[in-house]
């Protein structure tokens, strides 16, 4: 097992990405451009997080954690568009939002832990 797979933040991110990809592939109401943006941002959450855990240099780790968190923010912004145009149902929007917020806080805590 890789180190990143042991992290709670990674497991949550993976669950969110899995659900968002299922939505991307099944929801016909969302324009393809927005689907692509959401898919890329979602994948970047887990990919940058995994990459960060493999880095040995603290500044590299922090940069990738920052990129992962930025991808969370991008997903949250995309979600707001979906919510405003009723492209994703409200319970799912709420679930995504709660988990994006949770991921953001966890990634910030990881980032700050490298300042000590």
Question: What is the per-residue pLDDT for 2?
Answer: 94
* C-beta separation of 75 from 38 below 8 A: yes
Residue 106, Cβ density class (10 Å: 0-12 exposed, 13-18 middle, ≥19 buried)? buried
Please identify every stretch of the chain with a pLDDT value under 50, giving residue numbers as ranges: none
Complete DSSP assignment for 38-93: HHHHHHHHHHHHHHHHH--SHHHHHHHHHHHHHHHHHHHHHHHHHHHTT-S-HHHH
CATH of the domain at 47: 1.20.1440.60
State the sign of the Cα–Cα–Cα–Cα dihedral 31, 104, 17, 88: negative
pTM of the model: 0.95
Question: What is the per-residue pLDDT for 115?
Answer: 87
Burial code (b: 16+ CB inside 10 Å, e: under 16) for 25-56 equals eebeebeeebbebbbebbebbbbbbbbbbeee
Domain span at residue 84? 3-113
As for how many domains the chain has, the answer is 1
């Amino acid at each position: 097992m890789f180190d990143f797979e042991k992290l709670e933040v990674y497991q949550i991110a993976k669950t969110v990405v899995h659900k968002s990809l299922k939505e991307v592939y099944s929801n016909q109401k969302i324009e393809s451009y927005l689907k692509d943006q959401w898919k890329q941002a979602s994948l970047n959450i887990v990919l940058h997080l995994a990459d960060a855990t493999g880095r040995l240099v603290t500044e590299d780790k922090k940069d990738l954690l920052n990129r992962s968190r930025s991808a969370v923010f991008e997903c949250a912004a995309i979600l707001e568009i979906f919510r405003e145009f009723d492209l994703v149902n409200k319970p799912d929007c709420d679930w995504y939002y709660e988990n994006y917020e949770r991921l953001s806080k966890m990634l910030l805590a990881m980032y700050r832990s490298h300042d000590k």
